[in-house]
């Protein structure tokens, strides 16, 4: 009986691809948290995700949302300032028009 496995022959056939980041794995959005097996599993295709990678992906997504909210707040503040300036210019122009109307009436 031969119990020796030739790993050098297997290594030549094996192709390993390094995974540097979580790719999501499936297009579905609902998951089950299986407390007994301690896994995260897609409710539709039943794919199991590595918990840390899944949490990291979720955290990165949350951070992107926070950045977008912050950028939107800055843009809203800038637009509010532009509106205030335009309203100020409108008041000044209206005052000029009123002064010119009075001047024309007096002449
Ligand atoms: Zn899925």
Sign of the alpha-carbon torsion through 97, 100, 106, 107: negative
Residue 20 lies in a domain: no
Residue 12 has pLDDT above 70, yes or no: no
Q: How far is the CA of 47 from the centre of ligand 1 (A)?
A: 6
How is the chain split among helix, strand and coil, in percent rounded to 5?
Answer: 60, 10, 30
Residue 6 lies in a domain: no
Residue 12 lies in a domain: no
pLDDT at 1: 46
Range of the domain at 55: 25-106
pLDDT at 97: 97
Write out pLDDT tens, residues 32-71.
999 999 999 999 999 999 888 888 888 888 888 999 999 9
Q: How far is the CA of 60 from the centre of ligand 1 (A)?
A: 20
- The secondary structure of residue 39, as a DSSP letter, is E
Higher-confidence residue of 4 and 98: namely 98
Residue 76 has pLDDT above 70, yes or no: yes
- The secondary structure of residue 26, as a DSSP letter, is S
Residue 4 lies in a domain: no
Residue 52 lies in a domain: yes
CB 38 within 8 A of CB 48: no
> How many structural domains compose the chain?
1
Q: How far is the CA of 41 from the centre of ligand 1 (A)?
A: 8
Residue ranges with CB less than 5 Å from ion ligand 1: 26, 28, 42, 44-45
Write out pLDDT tens, residues 91-107.
999 999 999 999 998 88
Residue 11 lies in a domain: no
Residue 18 lies in a domain: no
Residue 8 lies in a domain: no
- The secondary structure of residue 3, as a DSSP letter, is -
């Amino acid at each position: 009986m031969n119990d020796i496995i030739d790993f050098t022959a297997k290594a030549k056939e094996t192709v390993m691809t390094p995974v540097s980041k979580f790719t999501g794995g499936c297009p579905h959005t609902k998951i089950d948290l299986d407390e007994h097996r301690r896994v995260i599993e897609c409710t539709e295709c039943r794919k199991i995700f590595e918990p840390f990678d899944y949490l990291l992906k979720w955290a990165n997504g949350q951070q992107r949302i926070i950045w977008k909210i912050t950028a939107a707040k800055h843009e809203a503040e800038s637009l509010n300032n532009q509106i205030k300036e335009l309203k100020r210019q409108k008041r000044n122009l209206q005052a000029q028009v009123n002064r010119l109307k009075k001047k024309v009436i007096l002449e």
